[in-house]
Amino acid sequence: MAQKKQNVFEALSSINVNEKTEKKDNLTYLSWAWAWQEFQKVCPTATYEILKNENGLPYFADESGAMVYTQVTVDDITHEMWLPVMDGKNKAMKSKPYNYQTKFGEKTVQAYNMFDINKTIMRCLTKNLAMFGLGIYIYAGEDLPDGYEEPAPAKPKLDAKRLNGALESIKNGNYTYDKLVDTFDLTEAQIKKADKFIKELQEAEVEEKELETENK
């Protein structure tokens, strides 16, 4: 089981989530919908739970603010996560508005509502998934996950004119077939044309050598 847990963590932590994030006030946020979708690809039996208070509400509150909790389970492994309900400046929101002082003057934190709580729950769930590895490098302040390999850049394509030019260069000894295939994204038809050209070129060379031998 420990090996399976390690395999799941390695698979999830190696996924590059950068294109699905957005930055706000120097913090990075990952799309919860995309995160859950990717998580399900690796762990299709995974489930999550939003913990509720004694009144059936999905948050726990006192005079200091409100907190939400989630649990994610993969097979028999469960991780719990929690997150306070905060405003856009990451100040704890309470049941009533309150003020605080900054060097720019007095600021107000509005009271939380169900929209704020719902948003916090989904952020909490995303953070919960990171406990299994997905996007965990974001919380570690890193740019890319360990083990991530940058995909090779796409090969350029060739039109008919440029392909003919490349084949002519091969004929003249200024270019090679291997370099042509390695450098460009050739279509199946172009590969067949190049193969036929090389075959005809080789046959011509053989005939030329045979003629040279006969003339000696």
d(CA 86, CA 173) in angstroms, rounded, equals 68
- Reading the block at residue 2, the tokens are 């420990």
Kindly give the confidence (pLDDT) of every residue in the chain, 216 residues in length, as a single tens digit, with 9 standing for 90 and above: 555 556 888 889 888 888 888 877 667 788 899 999 999 999 999 999 999 999 999 999 999 999 999 999 998 899 999 999 999 888 999 999 999 988 888 999 999 999 999 999 999 999 999 999 998 888 776 544 454 455 567 788 888 888 898 888 888 888 888 888 888 888 989 999 989 988 888 887 877 777 766 666
**pLDDT given for residue 8 in this prediction:** 85
Give the helix, strand, coil percentages of the chain, each rounded to 5: 45, 20, 35
pTM for this model (two decimals)? 0.63
Please report, for the chain, the start and end positions of each structural domain, with discontinuous segments joined by +. Answer: 2-139, 160-209
- Whether domain 2-139 has CATH 3.40.1400: the reply is no
Beta bridge partners of 105: 102
**pLDDT given for residue 216 in this prediction:** 60
